[in-house]
């Protein structure tokens, strides 16, 4: 399965063999999570530029939760009892920056307000809970 974007790229997706696919490309839900990360990064770069914060490498460690019964409930011609969607995305965003943790928290708040993919996830009922941290603090070098 593929989709061609308006800017000339082709995005390919598939499903595992057990679901009737060929397992030849990422599953659509993984592409959604990749879109969430990409949108958070792009939004953060824009907001950091306007806030005059230096922003280096960003590393995302995400975990997503969904109730599989929403997609897999049988019989197939009945509506499932559970909504088919991601319910919760949680994790950390580790950022290389000289900004203080307070500045990074302000950046994270603005990114949460401005990221269209995250906002769509939230409006669907999926809670997006990311903790932003400075890489210096993770490595024990924080001030």
Q: Tens-of-pLDDT digits for all 143 residues of the chain?
A: 999 999 999 999 999 998 899 999 999 999 999 999 999 999 999 999 999 999 999 999 999 999 988 888 888 898 889 888 999 999 999 999 999 999 999 999 999 999 999 999 999 999 999 999 999 887 665 44
Q: How far apart are CA 80 and CA 66, in angstroms?
A: 14
State how far the Cα of 125 lies from the Cα of 123, in Å rounded to an integer.
5
Closest alpha carbon to 92 in 135, 38, 50 = 135
Q: What is the dihedral of CA 5, 35, 31, 78, to 10 degrees?
A: -100
Pairing type for strands 86-95 and 10-12 reads unpaired
CATH of domain 27-138: 3.30.300.20
């Amino acid at each position: 399965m593929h989709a061609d974007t308006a800017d000339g790229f082709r995005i390919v997706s598939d499903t595992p063999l057990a679901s009737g696919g060929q397992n030849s490309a990422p599953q659509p839900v993984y592409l959604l999570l990749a879109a969430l990360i990409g949108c958070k990064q792009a939004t953060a770069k824009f907001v950091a530029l306007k806030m005059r914060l230096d922003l280096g490498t960003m590393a995302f460690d995400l975990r997503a939760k969904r109730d599989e019964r929403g997609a897999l409930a049988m019989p197939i011609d009945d509506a499932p009892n559970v909504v088919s969607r991601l319910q919760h995305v949680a994790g950390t965003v580790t950022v290389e920056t000289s900004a203080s943790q307070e500045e990074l928290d302000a950046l994270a708040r603005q990114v949460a307000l401005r990221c269209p993919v995250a906002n769509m996830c939230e409006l669907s009922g999926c809670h997006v809970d990311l903790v932003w941290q400075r890489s210096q603090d993770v490595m024990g070098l924080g001030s």
